[in-house]
Structures are given as C-alpha cells and as structure tokens.
C-alpha cells in the first residue's frame, strides 16, 4: 500500500473515532470518564513513586492512566493496592510515547534524562522535588491538585493534613526520647529528610540529625551501640530477601537493653511526601506518648521542663518514666 | 629463611594485625575499654564497649583472619597444583562463580531469607568453577589458556550476578551488586562466623592433606605417579579444599581478589620453593594482608567505608600486570 493510501485510511479512521466521540458526548458519562475541570489534562502519567501517591490520591476516575511499577511495592507505597488498577510503567520515555499522555508528572531527581527527553519531544512534564518535609506536603498536594484540575479535592486533603499535623504537634512537650530511622544497609535519615521532620513532629529527637548527619547517609553500627537510641525504626523485611535488610537486625542492636526496635510506622507510609505521611506521624506520636508520657496539660509549663537534655542523658524506658 | 622462623614471624604479624583490626572502628573506644569489653565477665554484657567488641569487631576480625587464610592457602595450592604462577581463586573465576552461586540461591528466596542459603549456593558455585578449570587445564596445559578461561568465567559470573540482582523483585537488591563484586566485611556478625568458619577449616584440612602430592607433582604427573601419589585422591583433596574454603569465604564477604596471588609470590623467595612449604606461610600471610586491608578500609573512609575488595585490587592488579609481563619474558 502506498504511503498516501495509508495516510488516507488513517485519517478516515480518525474521523470515525471523532464521530464516535461526538456521538458519545451527550450520553451520560461512563463511570470511568468523569471530567475534572475544563482545560484539565485527561490522560496523566506518573513516573515516580512519590508523584504516584499524590496523583492517585487526587486524580478523577479515568484521569490517571499509568503509575510507576514501584507504586505496587508495599514497602514504598501506601497505596499499593490502588496502584494495581493502573498500568505500571518503568519510567521509560518509550512507554510515555506509547501512552501519549497530555501531562507527565515525575520527580526532579530520579529520571532526569527521561524528563529532558520528554520535554524535547513536546510532552508537558511537571517535576516534583525529591527533597520533602512535612511542611512542604500541603503545598505539594495543592500543586498536584491544580495541575490535575482538582483544586477542591486538593484543598480539602491539604487542609485536613495541616490541621491534623498541627493537632499532633500541639500535644508534644519537652520530653523527647531519641530515635533513629535505620534501614537497608545501615543507612540513617538525617537532617532535611522527611523522616527527620516526622520524628520532630511526633516528639522525638532524631539521633542522626543531632549527630550532624544530613540526608540519607550510612550510619556506623558502632555509633548506634554507643548512643543507644530509645527507639530504632527499621523497615519490615519486604518480599524477596536482601543482605542489606539484615543490617538493622544485627545482634549488636538486639543486645541493646532498653532500646525498642521495630517498624512502628505503617508500611510505606513515610517513604514519600504524600498525604499518607500523617499515618506515620500519628503512629510515632502514639509511641512517644507511650514511652515518655507528657505531663498533664495544666502542668505543662515550659520553664520547668525545658532543661536541655544532652545526648545519652535520657533514661531508658526500661528504667521507668523519666523525671 | 628457616621455615620455623618464617612461620613464627608471619604468625606474629597476623596476630598483630588481628589485634589492630579489633581496635579500629567508628566508635572511639580506648585501648583498655576495648580489651575490657572483649574479655570482661558476663555482667559487663550489655555495656556499649562489650557489645561493640563482641558482636561487631570480633566477628569481623575472625572473618578477616579466616578468609585471609583461605585465600592465601588456596592461591598457594592452586599455583603449585596447576604449576601456574598466575593461578589464584579470584583471577581464575572461583570467587566470582562462588558469588554467583550464593546470589542465585539467596536472592531467589528459595530458602526464605535464611543465611544458610549463602554458603550452600557459594559452595556449588565454587565447585563448578574448579571442575571447569581442571577440565580445561587437563586438556590444554598452557599457562595462559587457563588464565584466559578464568577471566572469561569471572566476567560471565560477574555479569550473571548483576543480572540476578537486577531481576530480584526487591528494588534494594540491585544496590548489593557492589558488595558481591568488590567484597566487604562490614557489619558481619557471629552468625556469619559460625556459618563460614567450620567450612573454611575443613577446606584448610583437605588442602593440608594434599601437601605431599603437590610436591611430587612439581616433578610432573608421571613422576608423581611413580612416587606412589594417587592422582585422583590428590585432585579430590584440592578441588574440595579450594571449593570449601573459597566458597565459604565468598558466601559471607563477597569477592575479594588478588590476595591468593600476591601473598604466595611475596613469600615464595623466603621458602625452599617446595610447594608444600609455601602452604602455611601463604595462609598466615593471606590473613595478615586481608586484616591490614580491612583495617585500612575502615580508616580511609570512616563513615561510608570502602569495600575491602577495592583495596586488595589496588594492591593486586598492578602486581598481576607485572607478573604477566615477567611470565611472558620467561616463556620467550
């Protein structure tokens, strides 16, 4: 067949599709095709596990066509069940090209080359920062909301998030047990990380940040034994085995008396700056209240409690309630 | 040099480096704290120094000692048995294939996340590699054929190791490629010692039993047979001994190269050049070199920590190059 002939057939085919769409338009919308707002993208594709979380929480039914394959990973994604309803992508430019989305959302960090390529090919690409804290989350929710044309829903979620966070923060006092988020291969989460802001909000001192660790950095096992945090938060070993998952289960950590070791936060809840982080804050605040209860509110005079507590000075829960 | 003097000297060196390995670490323990932590009675248990010394540094030093012995000894016996100055478990692909075996069994999750999967897989891998190499050596006696076959085996095993780790459904598995290709003794525990040391010790015993055979073999196979050496038995002892010691070492520490190459060559001039009198000094020297490299790995990058295989390759690879040039000159 000649190229011209094929072109003609293709355009005919396009006309048929268009006609079908016009005919279908007046009919009541199918359950999977709810229009967001006028001018809002109709086919959105997310390439990053963190933008996946925001997009899944906010998108109108049918608006989101694909999320990253990591969104199905329970240890990284709290919405892993929902993620199975979407096409999984591996963040490849070719996958995007096949799907022809009118908006691509992704992280600034992980797929930099892909983003640059997609922009050059004329796709609308919106990037979200990899570095997030609790304070940036409501803004990220609103930004994703306006990109998807779902401002009202975003406003609702963001407001609820901020209110609940403020409520939890209000209930903290100066009794701040030490904690460290210690995971795969002995990497600790220091200052500037989402986990750091979650620990702070839940009323803990982040041991790694106190010792000057910034970002995700390997933290020597020996230092943990020396510092003896009250709480060590590790991930649940997920699915297929790895050697790195065994580091937080090292016998040296298990031998520490009075240190609590466990997952403590719901699986996948704090790997991304998404609405689900509030679950992690809530769980850790409960844990904090259990091991170091705050005095009754009317006695909560900051003058008396505000004595600075040097590292290691905090009594272990095994030894009874702190001063 | 008199063998007794040489062995005593190397034993003292290895012991000194063993103690150094116990004293190096990110926690600033004073010398007396370290010793007290290591030897103090049970009521001291639960104290920081006690936990650090017994649960972190002692297993690491023990593994450094045992793996160093295994690699030095295997290098010496392979060089003697194959009559090939370039033979070494790393270069001829035994370590890489052992790592592939360990990776294939462990990351597939066949054995849950049980650590026993590691030595099981590594022994199968190491055994396979030794058998393949012996078959090649039997067919084609040339020094370079064996080394080239080993290089091919190494590359293939390394590529397959990376492939298996990339195929793991756990996204964190791929980060462990560097551990398997470059080895490390970081954050090991007594579990790993219990897992690897008995197997390595059995391997040392088998290699030691082959001492008379490799001496006779230096006169050629026919001469050895006429001296009453049972070739089949000698071959079994060496194959099983190398597979056990290198397999168990790789299962807990990944691929650590070049120790079995460098140490026998450094020590051979100090011996009477009989392959059997090289075995014990090469074992002690291997331990000393690995303990030194592992202590250095902790000092160079205190927090992040260097993979010890990087350091042994930095020492070993230029040495290997020099050796290749020398062997070529001698052959011309």
Q: Are B3 and B277 in contact (CB under 8 A)?
A: yes
Q: Are B253 and B65 in contact (CB under 8 A)?
A: no
Residue B287, pLDDT score:
97
DSSP-based three-state secondary structure for B64? helix
CB-nearest to A222 from B46, B56, B304 is: B56
Residue B304, pLDDT score:
67
Residue in B closest to A76 by C-alpha: B171
Give the contacts of B140 (CB within 8 A, at least 6 positions apart): B146
The CATH 3.40.50.1980 portion of chain A extends over 38-163, 174-295+308-319
Query: Cβ of B52 and A228 within 8 Å?
Result: no
Report, as an integer, the average pLDDT of B110-122: 86
CB-nearest to A240 from B27, B56, B173 is: B173
Overall fold of domain B56-331: ABC transporter involved in vitamin B12 uptake, BtuC (1.10.3470)
Which of B172, B190, B251 is the mutation pick for testing A, counting most A CBs within 10 A?
B172
Question: Does B81 have pLDDT greater than 50?
Answer: yes
Instruction: Kindly list the residues from chain B whose CB atom is less than 8 angstroms away from the CB atom of residue A214.
Output: none
DSSP A253-292: HHT-TT-EEE--SPTTTTSSSSTTHHHHHHHHHHHHHHHS
Instruction: Kindly list the residues from chain B whose CB atom is less than 8 angstroms away from the CB atom of residue A219.
Output: 303
Which of A48, A80, A220 is the mutation pick for testing B, counting most B CBs within 10 A?
A220
Write the burial class of residue B80 (CB in 10 Å: 0-12 exposed, 13-18 middle, 19+ buried): buried
Residue A37, pLDDT score:
57
Query: Cβ of B173 and A186 within 8 Å?
Result: no
CB-nearest to A252 from B55, B115, B179 is: B55
Domain residue ranges in chain B: 56-331
Which of B27, B115, B165 is the mutation pick for testing A, counting most A CBs within 10 A?
B27
Q: Which residues of A touch B (CB under 8 A)?
A: 70, 73, 76, 184-186, 217-223, 225-226, 228, 237-247, 250-252, 255-257
How many other C-beta atoms can be found within 10 angstroms of the C-beta atom of residue A27?
7
Instruction: Kindly list the residues from chain A whose CB atom is less than 8 angstroms away from the CB atom of residue B189.
Output: 250-252
Residue in A closest to B47 by C-alpha: A256
Check if B179 contacts A (Cβ < 8 Å). Answer: yes
Kindly indicate the confidence band of residue B303, based on its pLDDT and cuts at 50, 70 and 90. Answer: low
Kindly indicate the confidence band of residue B67, based on its pLDDT and cuts at 50, 70 and 90. Answer: very high
Query: Cβ of A241 and B171 within 8 Å?
Result: no
CB-nearest to A241 from B26, B113, B179 is: B113
Residue A111, pLDDT score:
65
Interface of B with A in 224-263 (CB under 8 A): none
Kindly indicate the confidence band of residue B302, based on its pLDDT and cuts at 50, 70 and 90. Answer: low
Check if B305 contacts A (Cβ < 8 Å). Answer: yes
Q: How far is B161 from chain A (nearest CA, A)?
A: 14
CB-nearest to A225 from B48, B112, B304 is: B48
Kindly indicate the confidence band of residue B44, based on its pLDDT and cuts at 50, 70 and 90. Answer: low
Query: Cβ of A250 and B55 within 8 Å?
Result: yes
Residue A235, pLDDT score:
80
Instruction: Kindly list the residues from chain B whose CB atom is less than 8 angstroms away from the CB atom of residue A252.
Output: 51-52, 55-56, 189
Strand-pair partners of A127: A106
B27-41, B122-136, B188-202 — which is least confidently predicted?
Answer: B27-41
Query: Cβ of A250 and B51 within 8 Å?
Result: no
Residue A38, pLDDT score:
63
Residue A151, pLDDT score:
93
Check if B109 contacts A (Cβ < 8 Å). Answer: yes
Question: Does B160 have pLDDT greater than 50?
Answer: yes
Report the alpha-carbon distance of residue A251 to residue B256 in Å, rounded.
25
Task: State pTM to two decimals.
Answer: 0.82
Which of B56, B161, B298 is the mutation pick for testing A, counting most A CBs within 10 A?
B56
Report, as an integer, the average pLDDT of B295-324: 88
How many other C-beta atoms can be found within 10 angstroms of the C-beta atom of residue A16?
10
Check if B42 contacts A (Cβ < 8 Å). Answer: no
CB-nearest to B170 from A221, A223, A238 is: A238
Residues with pLDDT less than 50, chain A: 1-34, 299-323
Report, as an integer, the average pLDDT of B235-245: 94
A159-168, A234-243, B69-78, B147-156 — which is least confidently predicted?
Answer: A234-243
Which of A185, A208, A222, A228 is the mutation pick for testing B, counting most B CBs within 10 A?
A222
Query: Cβ of B26 and A255 within 8 Å?
Result: no
How would you classify the pairing of strands A44-46 and A103-107?
A: parallel
How would you classify the pairing of strands A187-189 and A178-183?
A: antiparallel
Cα B234 → chain centroid = 21
Instruction: Kindly list the residues from chain A whose CB atom is less than 8 angstroms away from the CB atom of residue B110.
Output: none
Query: Cβ of B168 and A247 within 8 Å?
Result: no
Domain A38-163, CATH homologous superfamily name and number: Nitrogenase molybdenum iron protein domain (3.40.50.1980)
Cα A227 → chain centroid = 28
Q: Domain A174-295+308-319 is of which CATH architecture?
A: 3-Layer(aba) Sandwich (3.40)
Question: Does B198 have pLDDT greater than 70?
Answer: yes
Best CA proximity match to A63, nearest among A32, A94, A84, A92: A32
Report, as an integer, the average pLDDT of B206-223: 89
Query: Cβ of A251 and B191 within 8 Å?
Result: yes
Check if B23 contacts A (Cβ < 8 Å). Answer: no
SS (H, E, C) chain A: CCHHHHHHHHHHHHHHHHHHHHHHCCCCCCCCCCCCCCCCCCCEEECCHHHHHHHHHHCCCCCEEEEEHHHHCCCCCCCHHHHCCCEEECCCHHHHHHHCCCEEEEECCCCHHHHHHHHHCCCCEEEECCCCCHHHHHHHHHHHHHHHCCHHHHHHHHHHHHHHHHHHHHCCCCCCCEEEEEEHHHEEECECCHHHHHHHHCCCEEHHHHCCCECEEECCHHHHHHHCCCEEECCCCCCCCCCHHHHHHCHHHHCCCCCEEECCCCCCCCCCCCCCHHHHHHHHHHHHHHHCCCCCHHHCCHHHHCCCCCCCCCCCHHHCCCC
B132-136, B204-208, B324-328 — which is least confidently predicted?
Answer: B324-328
| H helix or E strand, kind and range, residue B202 | helix B190-209
């Amino acid at each position: 067949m000649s190229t011209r002939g094929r072109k003609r057939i293709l355009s005919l085919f396009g006309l048929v599709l268009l006609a079908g769409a016009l005919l279908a338009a007046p009919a009541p919308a199918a359950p999977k095709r709810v229009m967001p707002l006028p001018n809002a993208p109709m086919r959105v594709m997310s390439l990053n596990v963190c933008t996946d979380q925001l997009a899944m929480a906010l998108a109108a039914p049918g608006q989101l066509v694909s999320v990253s394959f990591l969104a199905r990973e329970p240890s990284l994604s709290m919405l892993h069940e929902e993620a199975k309803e979407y096409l999984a992508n591996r963040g490849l430019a070719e996958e995007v090209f096949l799907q022809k989305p009118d908006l691509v959302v992704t992280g600034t960090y992980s797929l930099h080359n892909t983003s640059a390529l997609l922009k050059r090919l004329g796709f609308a690409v919106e990037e979200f920062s990899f570095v997030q804290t609790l304070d940036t989350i409501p803004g990220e929710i609103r930004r994703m909301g306006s990109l998807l044309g779902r401002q009202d829903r975003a406003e609702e979620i963001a407001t609820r998030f901020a209110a609940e966070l403020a409520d939890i923060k209000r209930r903290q006092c100066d009794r701040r047990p030490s904690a460290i988020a210690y995971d795969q291969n002995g990497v600790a989460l220091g200052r500037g990380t989402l986990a750091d802001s979650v620990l702070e909000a839940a009323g803990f001192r982040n041991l790694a940040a106190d010792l000057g660790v910034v970002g995700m950095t390997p933290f020597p096992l020996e230092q943990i034994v020396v510092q003896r945090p009250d709480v060590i938060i590790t991930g649940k070993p997920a699915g297929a085995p790895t050697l790195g998952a065994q580091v937080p289960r090292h016998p040296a950590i298990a031998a520490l008396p009075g240190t609590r070791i466990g997952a403590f936060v719901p699986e996948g809840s704090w790997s991304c700056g998404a609405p689900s982080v509030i679950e992690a804050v809530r769980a850790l605040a409960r844990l904090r209240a259990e091991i170091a209860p705050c005095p009754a509110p009317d006695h909560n005079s900051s003058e008396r409690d505000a004595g600075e507590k040097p590292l290691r000075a905090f009594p272990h829960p095994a030894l009874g309630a702190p001063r | 040099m008199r063998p007794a003097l040489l062995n005593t000297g190397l034993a003292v060196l290895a012991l000194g480096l063993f103690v150094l390995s116990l004293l190096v670490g990110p926690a600033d323990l004073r010398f007396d704290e370290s010793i007290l932590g290591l030897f103090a009675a049970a009521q001291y248990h639960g104290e920081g120094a006690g936990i650090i010394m017994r649960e972190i540094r002692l297993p690491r030093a023990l593994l450094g000692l045992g793996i160093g012995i295994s690699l030095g000894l295997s290098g010496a016996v392979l060089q003697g048995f194959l009559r090939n100055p370039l033979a070494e478990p790393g270069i001829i692909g035994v370590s890489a294939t052992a790592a592939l075996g360990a990776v294939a069994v462990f990351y597939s999750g066949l054995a849950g996340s049980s650590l026993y999967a590691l030595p099981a897989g590594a022994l199968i891998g190491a055994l396979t590699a030794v058998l393949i190499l012996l078959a090649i050596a039997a067919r084609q006696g040339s020094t370079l054929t064996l080394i080239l076959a080993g290089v091919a085996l190494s590359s293939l095993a390394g590529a397959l190791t990376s492939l298996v780790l990339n195929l793991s459904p756990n996204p964190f598995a791929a980060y462990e490629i560097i551990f398997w290709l470059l080895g490390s003794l970081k954050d090991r525990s007594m579990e790993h010692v219990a897992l690897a040391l008995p197997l390595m010790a059995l391997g040392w015993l088998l290699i030691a039993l082959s001492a008379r055979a490799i001496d006779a073999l230096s006169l050629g196979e026919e001469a050895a047979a006429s001296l009453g050496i049972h070739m089949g038995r000698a071959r079994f002892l060496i194959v099983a001994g190398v597979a056990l010691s290198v397999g168990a070492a790789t299962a807990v520490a990944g691929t650590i190269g070049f120790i079995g190459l460098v140490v026998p060559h450094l020590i051979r001039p100090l011996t009477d050049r009989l392959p059997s009198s090289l075995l014990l000094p090469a074992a002690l020297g291997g331990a000393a070199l690995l303990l030194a490299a592992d202590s250095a790995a902790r000092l160079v990058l205190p927090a992040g920590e260097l993979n010890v295989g990087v350091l042994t390759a930095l020492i070993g690879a230029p040495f290997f190059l020099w050796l290749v040039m020398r062997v070529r000159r001698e052959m011309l």
